[in-house]
Amino acid sequence: MKYPILYSFKRCPYAMRSRMALKLADIRCEIREVRLNDKPDHMLQVSPKGTVPVLILRNKIIDESIDIINWAISKVDIFKGNLGHDKSDLSEELICIFDDKFKYHLDRYKYSNRYQGSDLEFHRAECMKILVNLENLISDTKWFFGNKLNKLDITILPFIRQYRIANPDWFDSQKDIFKIKNVLNNFLESKLFEEIMHDYKIWEEGSDLVYFPLNTSIAQ
């Protein structure tokens, strides 16, 4: 195996943030785009839980997106010097909040039809409480904690993007998250986002090899 193999799905926020970390670290992978309703046998063999992303290395399988991000950072310290020590612990705390509480409520807001008895308005409001808390912690800068991209940005922005997608007009009208909306817009207009959202053909056994990322490093 010349390069790691990455099983991915374009719109999955977990896969998106993993692709960002791999892209920023310039770690080339063989990418295998999948259908979530028709997962390849090989992917299920190496990771029976059946979720993306899955990163196959020579000596191990990584099938949690946060672990893929941390692995990429361990290979290339892509955010070195971008975040002051005073914000490092806070950043990790916020990542945990978004991975746990925010994602819980996001799923029950965006996909309320999948959860019997789910109160859409309640879960939307709970997500908004978390966003307002974040809004009060950040400055009016390009990214959440400054003008240089950090782990927090790539980790939680795919979730905030999903939150907006659930009702764009409502989200855009919210005045209490002005700074967050600016950061999200910077993300959606970035070269990094453009590259990680490239369309790949669905992978099948015997398909030609396809590689990610397409290009070399992108300025943050």
Cα distance between residue 48 and residue 40, in whole Å: 11
Extents of the domains making up the chain: 5-78+196-212, 85-193
Is the Cα dihedral 170, 175, 176, 179 positive or negative? positive
Dihedral sign computed on CA atoms, order 53, 104, 93, 192: positive
What is the amino acid identity at position 104? Y
pLDDT at 1 over 90: no
Confidence of residue 206 (pLDDT cuts 50, 70, 90): very high
104, 98 Cβ separation under 8 angstroms: no
pLDDT of residue 218: 46
The predicted model gives 87-115 an average pLDDT of: 96
CATH number of 85-193: 1.20.1050.10
Q: Is the pLDDT of residue 216 over 90?
A: no
pLDDT at position 219: 45
> How many other CB atoms are there within 10 angstroms of residue 95's CB atom?
16
Residue 84: predicted pLDDT: 77
Mean pLDDT of 101-126: 96
5-78+196-212: what fold? Glutaredoxin (3.40.30)
| pLDDT at position 165 over 70 | yes
Alpha-carbon distances, residue 72 vs 21, 92, 151 (angstroms): 6, 16, 11
- pLDDT, one tens digit per residue, over 178-191 is 999 999 999 999 99
> For the whole model, what pTM was predicted?
0.95
Is residue 61 scored above 80 in pLDDT? yes
Neighbours of 183 (CB within 10 A): 23
Strand partners, 62: 55
Overall residue count recorded for the chain in this entry: 220
